[in-house]
Structures are given as C-alpha cells and as structure tokens.
Structure 1
Amino acid sequence: MDASVALMILSAVVVYLVWFKFIARSLNGPRVWPLLGSLPGLIENSNCMHEWIADNLRACGGTYQTCIAAIPFLARKQGLVTVTCDPKNLEHILKGRFDNYPKGPFWQAVFHDLLGDGIFNSDGDTWLFQRKTAALEFTTRTLRQAMSRWVNRAIKQRFWPILETAQLQGKPVEFQDLLLRLTFDNICGLTFGKDPQTASPGLPENGFATAFDRATEATLQRFILPEIIWKLKKWLGLGMEVKLSQSLDHMDKFLSEIIHTRKLELLSRHQGEIPHDDLLSRFMKKKESYSDEFLRHVALNFILAGRDTTSVALCWFFWLVSQNSRVEEKIITEITTVLMETRGTDTSKWVNEPLVFEEVDRLIYLKAALSETLRLYPSVPQDSKHVIADDVLPNGTFVPAGSNVTYSIYSAGRMKFIWGDDCLEFKPERWLSEDGKKFEPKDSYRFVTFNAGPRICLGKDLAYLQMKSIAAAVLLHHRLTVAAGHRVEQKMSLTLFMKYGLCMDVHPRNLKPVPEKMHKADDEEVYV
C-alpha cells in the first residue's frame, strides 16, 4: 500500500474517532459504538427491550438521546433518536407542537399497502378529515349499544361454551388465541356488520381472518428491514412481500363484496326495516360520496386498531388477577353487588345472560383494575414521531429536524417520578376516589395508553366496554389459574403480546354463598 494512501486512511480514522468521541459525549443514553451506534445494545436486549429502555430512562431522568448509526451527517439527523417518557415532553410532542411531530414518511411507507391513507396512517388534512368524520360516530350512544350487543352475543354463544367445555374436560385454554378470535369477531361485526365466526366452537379458520393475520405479520417485518431491502423484495416478489400481496388481494375482494352488497341494501331499504348500525354503513349514509378504496381502508384501520389492543390487554388482566386474589375478590364483590340490585338474589339469574350495557357501566373497580393493567402492560408499548423542524423539549433537550422521537408508553407507567414509589405494584385503588365510589381518570400524558392530544383514541369507551363485558363474563363464571409449567413472557412486537400465549386452567366459580355473605356484611355495617 502506498504510504500516502495509508496516511490518508489513518488520518480519516483519527478524524472519525475524534468526531465520534465528541458525538458520544453529547448522547446520554445507552452506550454508543463506532459506526453501529446503539444497535449492539438493542440486539443484545431484544428479548427484554421495553425493560431495557425503561432502565435507561430511569438512569437518565426520563429522557435520553442515542443514535442508531454513528456516521457523520446521519448521527445528528436520521440516525438520532430521542427517547422520552416525561409527561411534560409528551404533552409538548402530542399536543403543544402537534404539527411538528407527525407519524412521518417511514411509518407511512411501511403501512401504506395495508392501511392506505386511513386514519391511523395519515397526517395533516387527510387525517383531520377522517378524524372529524369518525369522531361524530364514536360519540354516539347507539354505537356503544351496538358494540354491547355484538360482545354479549359472542360471550353467550361462543366464549361461555368453550370455557365450560374446557372446565368439564379439565383442559387448559389458550386465552391469547381465543381472545384474539373473540375481539376479531366483535370488531368485524361493529365495523362492517359481518361476523367471521372465528371464535365459534372448534375455532374454525376464516379466509379473511387468515389473510388479515398474514398481512399484518408481513407489514411488521418491514420495520426490521431497511426500507430499500423490503421495497426491493416487493418489486421482485420475494419472501413475505408475496404473502402480503396475496393477502391484500383476498381482503380487498372480501371487503369489496361487502361494500357492494351494503350499497344495494341501503338503496333498496324499505321503510320500517331495521337499519344497519355498523361503522361502514354509517360512513356510507353520509352526504359525501366515498370511494370503495377509501371505505376499505376505513374498515381495515378500525379492525387493526380494535382487535389486538383489546385482546392483549385482557390477557395481561387475567394473568394479573390470577396472581392477586385480593383484587379478584373485590371485582367479584362489585359485580355481584350490581347484579343483586338488578337481578335479585337468585344467583342462577346472574349467570344465564351476560351483563347488559347499564350493568357494565356501573363496574367502577373493574375499570380501575383494567386501567391499572394498561398502565403496567400497555397494548402498544411505544410509538414514534418524525421531527419536522428543530425544537427544544420542555426538559431542555434539543431535537433537530429530520430526527425521530420515541415515547415509551411502557416506561411512562413504571416511573417513580410519575406514579410514586409503588409504581410497580398492581394497585387498582390508585384510580379511585378516597371513598372508592368514583373512577378518577389520570392525566392523559401520564397514562398514554390511549394516546393523547388531538390523536387520542376515539374507541377508548368502546374498548373499556368490551373489556369490562368480557372480564365480568369470565370471572363471574370461572376462576382462572396459570397452567402448570406455562411461562408468561413479553413478546417483542409493536403490540405487547405474550411470547408463549396464555394457557390457563378453568375452574368453576361458586356464587351460592355470595348473597348470604353480603347480607351478613351489610348487617354488621349497620350494627357498627
């Protein structure tokens, strides 16, 4: 090698190392390596990433910066990631400077084939138009009542028979799969009025459900690969991109048939007929003329948002309750207290029908327990935003244009400076008033599970309604315990699934002593 070339290479290495030392000093997060940035740490902790991020945030006071590519001109732009769980920073990002922190081009490119320009994959005017349209529907009581009907139908005709059979046979139930099926049937019914029946006895396969699962799996794989790689695979028709294309074709045909049929039904509906109350029909009845493509994307966006998040939350809830008998007893006491008032003391009348909308609405402690579950195990553990223009966060962190901000929802629920010294305890009482009679919501920038600011979740009330209905239906009939030898671990995904599912043994719940026990407690209270 020529001496001058060697000297140039050596000089370049020295200049790079000097630059790297300078850039590394400006970053306060996990260790940064030359060229690779913080990627070695991410890979090493890939099986416990959310806990690793939470540990880093604790050490840095709630916010840190790192780079995933320690390369000049990239390290302070596309390669720079600001990670935070500080409520003041979250309010600034999600509300104060909302327009400066969109989802960004990377997120939209990954999800575009599946979700198009739907509400969960769009920014700016496109998002605002859909948000306003959807908000009008989600605030109606009739939509919540429609959800209640779909959920109760599924509980009575599918969920209860499956659990009862498992109890009689002494076989464990894989709750994660079962709940995914149940919530999928419910959200499809609510979204476009058609029941795919995936949670029917025998748990049959359904073409649309299978295509939806494959499409989401293939889409999530794009997050792992560099954009140029998955785009090349798409162009060449390789790997998961083939499955994605085939699945999208299947879903488009399925939804197109539903839309076509619904249009004909709406045109030919006679006076006195019961109108469709699903979301798709509500959009189609509006004065605006929406394209079939737009309507398909509306449906897919709401199905994606409403299935995994609710089922995952219920899995963590049932696991936590099975580990906390005190909480379980208080939930049962609350449910039976409501049922004594609405259905009398005959316990057989408590269990022959699922709780109706008005009964579910009164379950305050159950809502607190579900909220506490979502605080510790949020269905979506983190989210990211793209930075449009240079900005300074409330804690003083400078974020340059072109970089990205990740806010850790998982960490926000586990910080002492946000929730106190008992932040890691499962304690539903923290959501109740001092007398325990009222549910007290927390600041949405401390409890970010349902997002916050202009993008706060429209389906929040529907999610609580479905979760409370299913939780009450299960716990009123059965006592659950984790199956012997089953491991409960987090799966590293965009949604906080359990890595090995949730296998639980199903035991009968004896309610006969409850009325007498409650009357005795009331008498003692009067006596005191």
Structure 2
Amino acid sequence: MDLQWRPCRPRTGLAPHISHAYRYRRTVCTVSPMLSLGRCSLPASSNPGPSLEFLSQAHTMICYMLWLAACCLLLLYSVRFRSGWSHGNGPRSYPVIGCLVDFYKNRWRLLDWYTELLAASPTQTIVVDRLGARRTVVTANPVNVEHILKSNFGNYPKGKPFTDILGDLLGTGIFNVDGELWYAQRKLVSHEFSARALRELEFAVLEDEARERLVPALGLAAARGDVVDMQDLLRRFSFDVICRVSLGVDPGCLDPALPAPRLAAAFDAAAGIIARRGAAPVAAVWKAKRALDVGSERQLREEIAVIHEAVMDLIHIRKKECGLRVNGGDGRRSDLLSRMIECGYPDEAIRDMVISFIMAGRDTTSSALTWFFWLLTRHRDVEREVLREITGGGASHAAAGGQGKMRALHAALCETMRLYPPVAWDSKHAAAGDVLPDGTRVERGDRVTYFQYGMGRMESIWGADAGEFSLRRWLSIIPEENAAPAPPAAVAGLSPFKYPVFQAGPRTCLGKEMAFVQMKFVASTVLRRFELVPVDEGRVPVFLPLMTAHMGDGLNVTVRSRSGEHVASAASSGN
C-alpha cells in the first residue's frame, strides 16, 4: 500500500514558524476512496489495507485466545492442586487463591477448624494450599508423626522458613538450627541437663521463689479479697525461675517492691511480634517491614537489642567471676550460663543458647499450669482426688524425691496438656520429596506440620470420650507407687508419637523432666494452701496459639486460704 504524507496547513492563528512536528500529522489508512482528517487527505489505493472492522475482530480473537490459554493453565494448575489431596480431605480450594475463602471464614477458630478437617479425613491428614503460603501437609496421625520425627528424621529439618522467623532473636541457638550445629549443641546441653547440680539448683530456686514470693502474693490476695490473674502470676514466677537457673540472676518479677524488669518486657514484646511473623499469610510483608526498619519490625529490633545487651553483659560479668574463681575465689556456680562459659564456647553462641532456653521455659510451664488450675475449677472431683494425694503424703510429696508418688497429679497434668498443649503445632520443612506412611505425597520444600492440639482431640487415638477431662486414661498406665517408675513425660504403654507434647524422637525436649518437677511443685504448693475460684465461673477461655499457648484474657480468680480443717474437708468430701 502506498502511503502519501502531505503537509498540513497550520490552523488559523498558529504561527508560521510552528515546529515541523506540529505541521505534519500521521494519517490512518482505510479502504475508502478518500478519507479526510482535518485538512489531511489520503488518496485511494489500488491495494486496500485491513479495515477497522477487521482489526477490531482480530483484537477480539486475540483476547479470546489469551483468555482460553489462561483458563487452560488454571485448569492444569487446579488438577495438580487437587492431586495432593488424593489421600485425605481438606478445605475447599480454588485455583490460585487455594483455601483462602474458608481460611478467612474460620480465621477466629483455626484450631477447631483444622481439628474438624483432620477428624473427617480417613487418614487424619490434610493438605492445605493457600495464596502466598507454602503447600502445607497437616497431620494428626501418630504413624505419620513417628515417620517425621524419627523414621525419616533427616528429611524433616526445621528449615529456612522457620529459622528466618526466629533467627533475629534466637540466632544459632539449639531451637533454631539443624544438622551438625544442632547435634553439637544437643550433645552439650544433654550432658548439662542430666547433671545433678542443675537439678538441685532448680529445686532450690523453686522452694525459695515459692516461699518468698508466690505464697505471700496469693496469701495477700486472699486476705484482701483481691482478684488475681493466675496466668500473669505464673508467667512472672516462671520467668524468675528460668532466669535464676539459666543465667544465675534474679529479675524479681514477682517482687512487688521492684519495678517490672525491662528484660521481661522485652521478651514479652519480642515473642508477640515473632508470633505474628509466623501467623502472617504472606512472609514478604514482614520481611519488607524488616528491610525498611518500620512498624513492628523496628520495635522487634529494639527489643532484641535490649535482650542481647542484657545477656552479653551477664556473660562478661560471669567471665570475670570465673577468672576470680580460678585465682582462688568462690566455688563453682551451677547455673547454665556459668557451666557453658566453662566449656569455652564463644560469647555469641552462649548468648543464643541461653536465650533459647529462656524462651522455651518461660511460658510453657506457666501455660500448662494456667489451664490445669482452670480445669480443676471445672472438675472439683478431680481437684479433691489430687488434693487427697498431696495432703496424704505431707510436705515430703512436694520434694523432688516424692514427686514420683503423685500419680493423680501427674495424670491431671498430662490430661491438661493433652487438651491444651503449650505448643499447639510444630512444623518441619521437607528437604526432599517423600510419601508419608498413610500415602500422602510430600513435595520438596513443603511445610509438614504435626498438630498436637488436634491429636489430643482425635477419637481415633483417645476413644469416644476424647473431649472429656478424665484421669482414668492415665491412671491405668501410670505405675503404682511401689512399681518401677516411668519416665515423667511419657508414661508406660503410651507412644510419645500419640502424645508429642514434648516432641519425640531425636528432638525430644531435654527439659521435660525439669518441666514436670516445676509443675508438680507449683501445683502442690498452691493447692495445699489455697482454693482458686474464677471470677466468671461460666466462662470458657479462648486458647491462643502464639509461640506458646496463652489463655485469652487470662485467668482471673479470687483466692481463698485453706486451713488444716478445710484441707481435710475438701480432700474427703465426695467420698
């Protein structure tokens, strides 16, 4: 087609020296004999070009083809998407967005929603795909749990997504590393936790903290008729204990004469922000905030700086003390920090390990005890049974050597953590593709989660009364007083993979025995002296699965002192 370009005369009033660009206009070609555009004209051509109608039709056809191609891609994606569920049920899912619709609808009851889905699945396993998140396999099947935590342990490390979330705070601490680094720390810490000196230190600290602070605080509340938040009280108590055992320093959280320690506040704030990191639907959001140093990520950086500075200062002070002891000073200290310094580890490695232990120990026991005391207020018959056991053995039962005789108390604590585990779920990330024993396909990089909260409610594991609080399921398998003692964290006849509250396999919690010692000591100390009455007895608290589980809005109670007669009456009533 021949196109001719003709100069357009300037419109009236335009300067004669108007630029060349304005004096020429590009004409649009059509098949009409002559198309006038303003003063520009295009003569007819003997070789007519495509019409506007044809171009419009071509454009429409291209759009249809693109739309069809997109539909095909979405269909292929959807087929692949659903193929991961060939071995179990799961939430309704859609191309691209996955289960985002149902996830949003159930965002305020995620734990119960997942539990319902798992209970409905023939294998107690579901696969969850969600926009912006990794493909996640969630299981409440003990056989799968054993495969993940033991049989194929090497294929299921915590993984980079997990370590990214906790890395700013925990660094290379034992709870945030895999492989050789984890193994080396595990070996060291296992030796230290088995040391008699550390166990004796824990019990001495518990006795002192209860005698000087916990009992007086509850006694004062009983005398005044004050309302006490037991969750807050127990968290303060646990923080004092773990700091004295790990760091060898007393933060005084339960001392009313001292201001609230900045270190405790920093741990609280950091734990809350990190929990929100883990719950974020799209990790890129918090990572962008961290890169820009804004909002909650800026606060997290500031809180971590407080924690790191405080722990490093203690390390330097303790190193000087160790130097003085070498030159004839005081005897060897038993706290964990001092023992690791003597092993010659670098300062930052010691800092990360100590912070990991504080994070692990500060809220787990307090969470379990909070739910324990609440459940006893709902089941006074169980409280009477536990109280008979505590008072029947005298003060010696609370001592470390007598705790193994507390079968009812141990059963009540185990039953509490079955229904309300301190850690609701734990996730690994598949290093390579795998197939779980129930047939569920796992792809490389998948998040694989075993769901303790749901496992505690599975009728397939615990029977038709799985939702009830009952000591019978434990008393039948806990040895009698004169029988050989069972490990305190997992009783005889019960697979730890059915009850992975303290994990299982190579990563079994090293502090499980210390945790039971603390929980039994606190429970017996409080129940022997006080009766707790919830302010709102009809309230069913909300279970909040943060880094460690919390009771929504705490446990507000009034406290009543038990005299000797009242203790005997309470223990014997109902016989």
Counterpart of 1:422? 465
Q: Distance in 2 between matches of 1:262 and 1:245?
A: 26
Q: CA RMSD, aligned part only?
A: 2.4
Which TM-score applies when normalising by structure 1? Answer: 0.90
Aligned position for 1:279: 336
For residues 96-121 of structure 1, give each alpha carbon's deviation from its aligned partner in whole angstroms, at most 9, with x where no partner exists. Answer: 01010011111111111100011000
The equivalent of 1:68 in structure 2 is: 130
Equivalent position SS for 2:510: coil
1:294-349 alpha-carbon deviations (Å, 9 max, x no partner): 11101100000001111111110000011111110111111111117x59xxxxxx
Residue type of the alignment partner of 1:55: E
Letter in 2 for 1:9: L
Within the alignment, does 1:244 sit opposite 2:293 as a pair? no
- Do residues 124 (structure 1) and 166 (structure 2) align? no
Q: What residue in structure 1 maps to residue 42 of structure 2?
A: none
- 1:367 alignment counterpart: 410
**Structure 1 counterpart of 2:79:** 22
Q: How far apart are 1:514 and its partner, in Å?
A: 5.8
Q: Cα gap change, 1:9/1:505 in structure 2, threshold over 3 Å: closer, same or farther? A: farther
Tell me which residue corresponds to 2:189. Answer: 134
2:393 pairs with 1:338: yes
Corresponding position: 1:209 with 2:248: no
Alignment pair present for 1:38 and 2:99: yes
Aligned partners of 2:125, 2:572: CA distance in 1, in Å?
Answer: 52
SS of 1:389's equivalent?
coil
Query: Retained in 1: the 8 A contact 2:384–2:570?
Result: no
CA gap 1:333/1:130 in 2 versus in 1, 3 angstroms: same
Amino acid at match of 1:309: T
- Tell whether the 8 Å contact from 1:46 to 1:492 is kept in structure 2 after alignment: no
Structure 1 counterpart of 2:154: 99
How far did 1:510 drift?
A: 3.3
Kept in 2, the 8 Å contact 1:384–1:407? The answer is: yes
Note the C-alpha offset of 1:202.
5.9
> Cα deviations across residues 45-90 of structure 1 (Å, max 9, x unaligned)?
22221111110000003111121139xxxxxxx7321110101000
Structure 2 equivalent of residue 293 of structure 1: 348
Maintained 8 Å contact 1:115/1:301: yes
- CA distance in structure 2 between the partners assigned to 1:117 and 1:423 by the alignment: 39
User: What letter matches 2:502 in structure 1?
Assistant: F
Counterpart selection for 1:260 from 306, 309, 316: 316
What percent of counterpart residues are identical?
37
CA displacement at 1:364 relative to structure 2: 2.3
Cα displacement (A) at 1:385: 0.9
Q: Which residue of 1 aligns with 2:519?
A: 467
Which of 280, 301, 305 aligns to 2:360? It is: 305
Q: 1:275 corresponds to which letter in structure 2?
A: R
Q: Distance in 1 between matches of 2:553 and 2:405?
A: 34
1:177–1:501 CA contact under 8 A, matched in 2: yes
Matches within 5 A, 1:376-525: 376-433=419-476, 437=481, 440-441=491-492, 442-484=494-536, 488-512=541-565
The answer as to whether partners of 2:290 and 2:297 remain within 8 angstroms in 1 is yes
Displacement of 1:504 after TM fit?
A: 1.2
Report SS of the residue matched to 2:116. Answer: helix
Question: Which structure 2 residue ranges, 5 or more long, are not aligned?
Answer: 1-55
User: Counterparts of 2:214 and 2:375 in 1: how far apart (Å)?
Assistant: 20
Partner in structure 2 of residue 349 of structure 1: none
Task: Report deviation, 1:426.
Answer: 1.0
1:270-298 Cα offsets, whole Å, 9 max, x none, are 65834211111111122xx3111111101
**Which SS does the other structure have where 2:127 is aligned?**
strand
Answer whether contact 1:487 1:500 (CA < 8 A) is retained. Answer: no
Output the CA distance in 1 between the equivalents of 2:495 and 2:569: 40
Measure the CA separation in 2 of the matches of 1:205 and 1:473. Answer: 24
Q: Distance in 1 between matches of 2:317 and 2:571?
A: 53
Moved more, 166-175 or 505-514: 505-514
Whether the aligned pair in 2 keeps the contact of 1:372 and 1:426 (CA below 8 Å) is: yes
- Whole-angstrom distance in 2 between the partners of 1:492 and 1:231: 22
